[in-house]
């Protein structure tokens, strides 16, 4: 029986970076990476730039294909259907059995499609994969999208709306709440972003969803009936209502799962020689707090850490959750949220905002301070990448007495002075 040193399920961001890290090991260990998506690996978070025509498939795949040509890597394009921890094996869709010494589950997630009558009709699309994106671009270029409706006004829905508009498609956006991107924006920021969308011709429907998707005589989408009883014609419907984690394999294998695959800080699952990384993970830290992090950067970092711990678990490295940071861009307005950017408990919290509109940009910054430290930030507009603020927040650096908080925010996050202040 042949036993592979390291088997990775999923060649997304987490699986790819795990594989790269494992390759750095100087011995002759063999690595098998299995992914059912024939295109993997590609930069999933950059698919929007393909719709915007800023990048092509070549750039999305980047230089990563040379990685898979390495003789120590065996890439298999198949679905893993079973994990058997009892004999350290996985079974592929064609019934091939592969035995592993250490296994990494990096299966990410899939687009959640709510149960709306008609969601199976041709012309209703998710956007998760390169193949989904190819199809969107092709149909748009054939001039077949005169008007599209997007259900879901979170980051993915708004990003897709903007990308489709840039590709010449007319778009209407549906939010089931009275706001946009609620996971990042407060009500003022959502108002500013909504104005940007309206200015660019996107109609927003608030507190509305689809009660039915309607088909034409060719069994293709012709419109929707909204939950407000309105009939709206369209020739494409996009469902951007969130992501579900691919936990079934782990669950069926008897691993501990809740919303994600439960791991400790070292990304080790309830089976000692099985690790997990990326979107699929739910980390339970030393204080028993649960963390679900579905972001591109952290998925890669988790892949690297999991790989290190798979190679040497005698002195494991914890995954540093650090201060939360998410980023997107709305019509040339950078949007970052960091740390506790919407604190629920306002006891002892001081909040400052800066809200200034110029002819080109609306800058809206909001900072929360506690015990003379920055605990969270929402930044919309032209402020520089506040990545250093993530360090200031996670390291809990205090604000030196000679620096006013008002100045920090008015200068678009004057972080050098805090970072390099003598303490």
Ligand X SMILES: Cc1cc2nc3c(=O)[nH]c(=O)nc-3n(C[C@H](O)[C@H](O)[C@H](O)COP(=O)(O)OP(=O)(O)OC[C@H]3O[C@@H](n4cnc5c(N)ncnc54)[C@H](O)[C@@H]3O)c2cc1C
Could you tell me whether strands 221-226 and 80-84 are parallel, antiparallel, or unpaired per DSSP bridges?
unpaired
What is the dihedral sign for C-alpha 398, 404, 409, 415? Answer: negative
Comparing CB distances to ligand X, the nearer of 275 and 369 is 275
Work out whether 76 is an interface residue with ligand X (CB under 6 A).
no
Distance, in Å, from the CA atom of 175 to the CA atom of 170, rounded to the nearest integer, reads 17
Distance, in Å, from the CA atom of 304 to the CA atom of 292, rounded to the nearest integer, reads 17
Comparing CB distances to ligand X, the nearer of 42 and 210 is 42
What spatial distance separates the first Cα and last Cα of the chain, rounded to whole Å?
61
Stretch that binds ligand X, among 3-11, 62-70, 115-123, 180-188 (CB under 6 A): 3-11
* 22, 33, 83, 106: residue in contact with ligand X (rule CB under 6 A): 106
151 by DSSP, 3-state: which? strand
Q: Min. distance of Cβ 248 from ligand X in angstroms?
A: 8
What is the dihedral sign for C-alpha 167, 172, 176, 179? Answer: positive
Work out whether 175 is an interface residue with ligand X (CB under 6 A).
no
Q: Collect all residues with Cβ–Cβ distance below 8 Å to 401 and sequence separation of at least 6.
A: none
Work out whether 157 is an interface residue with ligand X (CB under 6 A).
no
For the record, the structure tokens of 269 come out as: 């699952």
Work out whether 265 is an interface residue with ligand X (CB under 6 A).
no
Work out whether 325 is an interface residue with ligand X (CB under 6 A).
no
Work out whether 279 is an interface residue with ligand X (CB under 6 A).
yes
Work out whether 336 is an interface residue with ligand X (CB under 6 A).
no
Q: What binding mask, one character per residue, do residues 80-99 give for ligand X by CB under 6 A, x or -?
A: x-------------------
Q: Collect all residues with Cβ–Cβ distance below 8 Å to 139 and sequence separation of at least 6.
A: 145, 236
Comparing CB distances to ligand X, the nearer of 204 and 240 is 240
Q: Min. distance of Cβ 131 from ligand X in angstroms?
A: 10
The HSE-up count of residue 33 (CA atoms within 13 Å, CB side) is 30
Q: Give helix 187-199 / helix 155-166 axis angle, nearest 10°.
A: 20
Distance, in Å, from the CA atom of 280 to the CA atom of 255, rounded to the nearest integer, reads 13
Q: Which residues pair with 232 in a beta bridge?
A: 224
For the record, the structure tokens of 183 come out as: 């996971």
* 14, 136, 150, 392: residue in contact with ligand X (rule CB under 6 A): 14
* 19, 85, 109, 381: residue in contact with ligand X (rule CB under 6 A): 109
Comparing CB distances to ligand X, the nearer of 219 and 290 is 290
Q: Min. distance of Cβ 41 from ligand X in angstroms?
A: 8
* 12, 118, 152, 339: residue in contact with ligand X (rule CB under 6 A): 12
Nearest C-alpha neighbor of 149 from the set 166, 161, 162, 137: 161
Q: Collect all residues with Cβ–Cβ distance below 8 Å to 253 and sequence separation of at least 6.
A: 82, 83, 84, 85, 271, 274
* 172, 294, 355, 410: residue in contact with ligand X (rule CB under 6 A): 294
Q: Which residues pair with 80 in a beta bridge?
A: 92
Count of residues binding ligand X (CB under 6 A)? 35
Q: Min. distance of Cβ 142 from ligand X in angstroms?
A: 21
Distance, in Å, from the CA atom of 110 to the CA atom of 112, rounded to the nearest integer, reads 6
Comparing CB distances to ligand X, the nearer of 180 and 280 is 280
Q: Min. distance of Cβ 155 from ligand X in angstroms?
A: 7
Work out whether 35 is an interface residue with ligand X (CB under 6 A).
yes
Q: Min. distance of Cβ 400 from ligand X in angstroms?
A: 32
Q: Min. distance of Cβ 356 from ligand X in angstroms?
A: 26
For the record, the structure tokens of 150 come out as: 């997007």
For the record, the structure tokens of 113 come out as: 């499609």
Q: Which residue carries 């092709």 as its tokens?
A: 138
* 21, 328, 363, 390: residue in contact with ligand X (rule CB under 6 A): 328
Comparing CB distances to ligand X, the nearer of 155 and 409 is 155
Q: Min. distance of Cβ 293 from ligand X in angstroms?
A: 8
Distance, in Å, from the CA atom of 406 to the CA atom of 338, rounded to the nearest integer, reads 18
For the record, the structure tokens of 145 come out as: 């999208």
The verdict on whether omega for the bond into residue 306 sits within 30 degrees of 0, i.e. cis, is no
* 4, 6, 15, 22: residue in contact with ligand X (rule CB under 6 A): 15
Comparing CB distances to ligand X, the nearer of 10 and 152 is 10
* 21, 32, 40, 334: residue in contact with ligand X (rule CB under 6 A): 40
Residues 124-153 that bind ligand X (CB under 6 A): 127-128
- Which residues lie near ligand X (CB under 6 A)? 9-15, 34-37, 40, 44-45, 47, 79-80, 106-109, 127-128, 156, 246, 249, 278-280, 294-297, 299, 328
């Amino acid at each position: 029986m042949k036993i592979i040193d390291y088997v990775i399920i999923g060649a997304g961001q987490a699986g790819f970076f795990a594989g790269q890290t494992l390759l750095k090991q100087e011995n002759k260990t063999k690595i098998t990476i299995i992914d059912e998506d024939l295109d993997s690996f590609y930069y999933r978070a950059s698919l929007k730039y393909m719709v915007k025509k800023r990048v092509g498939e070549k750039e999305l795949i980047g230089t990563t294909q040379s990685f898979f040509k390495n003789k120590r890597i065996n890439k298999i394009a198949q679905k893993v259907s079973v994990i058997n921890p009892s004999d350290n094996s996985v079974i592929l869709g064609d019934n091939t059995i592969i035995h592993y010494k250490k296994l990494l589950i990096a299966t990410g997630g899939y687009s959640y499609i709510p149960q709306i009558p008609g969601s199976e009709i041709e012309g209703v699309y998710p956007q998760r994969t390169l193949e989904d994106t190819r199809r969107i671009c092709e149909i748009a270029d054939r001039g077949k999208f005169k008007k599209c409706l997007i259900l879901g006004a979170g980051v993915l829905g708004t990003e897709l709306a903007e990308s489709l508009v840039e590709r010449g498609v007319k778009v209407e956006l549906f939010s089931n709440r009275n706001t946009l991107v609620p996971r990042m924006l407060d009500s003022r920021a959502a108002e500013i972003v909504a104005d940007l969308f309206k200015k660019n011709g996107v109609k927003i429907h608030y507190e509305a969803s689809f009660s039915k998707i309607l088909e034409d005589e060719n069994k293709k989408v012709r419109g929707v009936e909204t939950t407000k009883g309105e009939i709206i014609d369209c020739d494409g419907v996009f469902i951007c209502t969130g992501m579900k984690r691919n936990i079934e394999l782990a669950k069926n294998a008897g691993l501990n799962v809740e919303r994600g695959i439960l791991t400790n800080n070292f990304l080790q699952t309830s089976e000692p020689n099985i690790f997990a990384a990326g979107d699929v993970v739910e980390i339970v830290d030393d204080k028993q707090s649960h963390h679900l992090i579905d972001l591109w950067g952290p998925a890669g970092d988790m892949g690297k850490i999991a790989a290190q711990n798979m190679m040497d678990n005698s002195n494991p490295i914890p995954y540093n959750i650090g201060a939360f940071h998410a980023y997107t861009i709305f019509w040339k307005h950078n949007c970052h949220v960091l740390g506790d950017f919407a604190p629920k408990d306002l006891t002892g919290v001081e909040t400052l905002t800066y809200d200034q509109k110029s002819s080109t940009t609306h800058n809206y910054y909001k900072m929360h301070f506690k015990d003379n430290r920055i605990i969270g930030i929402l930044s919309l507009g032209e402020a520089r990448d506040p990545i250093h603020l993530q360090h200031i927040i996670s390291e809990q650096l205090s604000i030196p007495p000679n620096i006013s908080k008002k100045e920090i925010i008015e200068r678009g996050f004057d972080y050098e002075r805090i970072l390099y202040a003598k303490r």
